[in-house]
Structure 1
């Protein structure tokens, strides 16, 4: 039996990076001029530039990055496949998730297009390549992954270079998180609590997305009796926008946490979670982008929105607290604080470098554009960065231009997913651009699926992977690697996995229209900020602030 290759083999080269270091460690130390020593996937030492090199590094060349080093960014809420779609001009103010999910424009511009793409297997590799590169270029080194399913109903996660919180192949150091999109019904609260008590790590649950009593009832449904709640330290509520101050006190008292997605909430609902109340209650908070159609392209934008919202509401968070939400706090919510989230010896070498070393280091990251990132490193391997710097470090890949700056992507990986082998970002982008322009034709093709014989399915179907779109078509399935789950209706995970991938395509051609692909970055999209100006629900303070921060 073949041995399964680990996602992150410890075989990165011996490197020394010099610059200003924002460690985000327990003392929140910032080293004005320091060096980070990495080898075999780990950080070996972090120290002043003048200190003697650690053992074994005496003859290793020092690479001056000319920038400020931070821990890699962690995004705990992102439906990655949808990031090929452009920003939706939200037609009205909604008050809960069920409203916009049924709206005709949402169906035609988000739901039906993604169902069409999911029903076109030859586009799968391009989608995976494009959306992973997109988050990587924005500094994300860890995030939620891309779920795939085949004709046999078997599910797996795309294996890319960005760490996937749901699939790590390292249950000791990086235990996999569980995820769930549908709300938990009150009648299922006891069963859900039993499930939570078995969790050894983070359980990411979409919780009370919206601003009205309907959305809040999703939280109230977790109540079991007077003082008992289906909440444990494993529970991390995504959005939590409808929770009131007493609800956050309950969440904190039971050890729960939350993922805040302010831009998505503002775009759809004109409001977001009462994070001042959450902070006062002691609820740990991280940040998440949600998805490009009604959220941020990357964490650099989400950080900007979070700061603008904080400032408009009395300065809820400091810049340092916001940076912690996408580094040390997010790692803590996952139970990964011993491995990632800070720049310390013994941790994984997940780092980003922002050009320049002057000014407040936390504000520097919040104000950074994609073109300001000169290095994104995962497990000691440079994955994206300044072309000259990447070559100096020994990494050669695909040349791209970001904001007029020459950059390089290095996506080769010893455990690379066979789907994307030899596929360039440029090739993926060109193919997706054509596909989105021709959506009606693709939809007509999806409505005429070829009949597959049992013999053909047995011989080839198991290897024909397609996107599994739980984000749009809730199946009631809890996503977890190698975890047998049954749906509320009693169907197995295998049966439930097939429904969103291979059905619901009969009327797609009457719904979809040609679309433009969403750009990789904000800095290269001159029309993006103008598009934000026309959004009906986003406050002017956010629109004007983003224009200033991205200028």
Structure 2
């Protein structure tokens, strides 16, 4: 079904038929066709681009902002339910990404509870992570857990799993959390030259630490090219960026950097070498809940360091910059509202007189009025969702505001699914993880003999820490799953920041955006 959204358009495009500057905003309409692509973006009250829109759902959001959906190129969905983590008693920042997995509480606080969900409730875990992304305006996200078979039922576009109905192969977006050997990096280099993108956790840690060698290894193997998406690079010195003469993209996750290492990526040095920088939210144990939270952290860092990143700069880092990084492998534009681009849209509440980019920077989950992916309304204000003719509507409350969620079961899109059902199943696992893990393992073993389609099984994509076998303790009775975290940033999240981590108090200021 086609969809027309009328409001204050923030296209973030240089298309001459739409805008003359990426900063342009105007009252107008976004026309999304039956194929889920944008057919036209118009100013004022222009008529339909063709007859196919005579039966389109029409949504008027007034003065609210209509933006391209946010693109998060750094996340780990398997850990989305977990609270912020620190190693008790530690007084010095971790040196690099190989330091904290050996902390004494890491496995028990992070690996074991995450494992309980990936083993016992994989569908619900993915649904939780997707809904958490939606409530923050995210329409595409990286970081799906490794799995035993492909999935076709995503709500939010999963960056490495998106195939656009089979028109794009699964090996077009390659990714790795762990450090790769030179022979594998050389293969990735060849794949990028053939049109793939490679999203790689690279040189994560304090400057001059040993993990800087990961970047140098990538350089020697020919990976510093346009399709290379380097997550972090906070261990690099400014001159290291000189080698990247055909710039790809850096993904900056300032909250996680400061929380673990007390320092962050040298963004101005990368930008000075014309290397695009986007923003990623990272994971539950050391990240924000969504990109709206992370750009606020970026703002705090920029102000503290005198980097002068503007609201416009930061909004680009969660829309068109990551969208541009995916154009090569996806063969379609994300992160910009222009003809033929993905019909992925987020609506942010705003008054007519407000500066659009400052408003997005200040926005919280309560200000997200609607999220559309491929022309399908999936989440938002009940009135707007009704006007958009959302299917399978169910109720949700976010930051005290009533919202409608349109969700179907992950592997049967004809069956409605509510978030309360998702949470109920996850609470069963939390109440007795040993029982649920044992039951899931037995069911998987039995299913291998009887099921025509294998049962979904996920794996963790982060280091497991020092544990006896398979990421779990020998005695499953030791597994304790903490409270499932709210979808939005809340008072408890902000309270858990103070006096913890290695940010020197800088992250304490995040809560002021939400007060």
Whether TM exceeds 0.5 here: the answer is yes
RMSD of aligned residue pairs (Cα, Å): 2.8
Map Cα deviations across residues 208-232 of structure 1 (whole Å, 9 max, x no partner).
11114212121122343xxx74422
From 258, 263, 275, give the equivalent of 2:255.
263
Contact 1:437 1:516 in 2 (8 A): no
- Displacement of 1:141 after TM fit? 0.4
Partner of 1:76: 73
For the residues of structure 2 that align with 1:76 and 1:399, how far apart are their CA atoms?
29
Aligned partners of 1:18 and 1:36 also within 8 Å: yes
Question: How big is the shift at 1:307?
Answer: 1.3
Tell me the SS of whatever aligns to 1:432.
Answer: helix
Partner of 2:488: 521
**Contact 2:30–2:40 at 8 Å: present in 1 too?**
yes
Residue 512 (structure 2) aligns with = 548
Deviations 1:442-464 (A, max 9, x none): 56x48x954987x9624338522
Q: Which residue of 1 aligns with 2:17?
A: none
**In 1, Cα distance between equivalents of 2:186 and 2:30:** 48
Q: Tell me, in whole angstroms, the C-alpha distance in 2 between the residues paired with 1:52 and 1:217.
A: 57
Tell me by how many angstroms 1:506 deviates: 4.4
What's the offset of the Cα at 1:290? 1.1
Residue 365 of structure 1 aligns with which residue? 360
The partner residue of 1:403 within 399, 406, 413 is: 399
Structure 1: tracts of 5 or more residues without a match: 1-11, 475-499
Whether contact under 8 Å (1:78, 1:143) holds in the other structure is yes
- 1:205 is the counterpart of 2:193: no
CA 1:232–1:438 in structure 2 vs 1: closer, same or farther (change >3 Å)? Answer: same
Change (3 A) 1:512 1:126: same
Normalised TM-score (structure 1): 0.82
Aligned pair 1:374/2:338, yes or no? no
2:427 is aligned with 1:433: yes
The match for 2:98 is 98
Q: State how far apart, in whole Å, the 2-side matches of 1:508 and 1:402 are.
A: 37
**2:396·2:403 contact (CA, 8 Å) conserved in 1?**
yes
- Rounded Cα–Cα distance in structure 1 between residues aligned with 2:448 and 2:168: 37
Instruction: Give 1:39 shift.
Output: 2.2
Give 1:215's aligned residue.
Answer: 211
Matches within 5 A, 1:461-476: 463-473=454-464
Contact 1:87/1:518 (CA < 8 Å) preserved in 2?
no
- What's the counterpart of residue 505 of structure 1? 472
Equivalences for residues 246-325 of structure 1 within 5 A? 246-251=239-244, 253-325=245-317
Q: Does 1:35 align with 2:33?
A: no
Q: Which moved further from structure 2: 163-172 or 274-283?
A: 163-172
Native 8 Å contact 2:498 2:508 kept in 1: yes
* Pair 1:132-2:130 in alignment: yes
User: 2: CA distance between counterparts of 1:157 and 1:101?
Assistant: 29
1:278–1:316 Cα change, 3 Å: farther
Q: Answer with 253-262 or 509-518: which moved more.
A: 509-518
> How many residues are aligned here?
494
> 1:303, 1:322 within 8 Å by CA — same for their partners in 2?
yes
Structure 2 unmatched ranges of 5 or more: 15-20
Structure 1 distance, partners of 2:33, 2:436, is 47
The alignment status of 1:169 with 2:163, answered yes or no, reads yes
Give 3-state SS (helix, strand or coil) of 2:302's partner. helix
1: CA distance, partners of 2:286 / 2:60: 39
> How many angstroms apart in 1 are the aligned matches of 2:202 and 2:399?
37
Alpha-carbon distance in structure 2 between the residues aligned to 1:331 and 1:240: 20
Quick check: 1:457 aligned with 2:455?
no
Normalised TM-score (structure 2): 0.88
Deviation at 1:249, TM superposition (A): 1.7
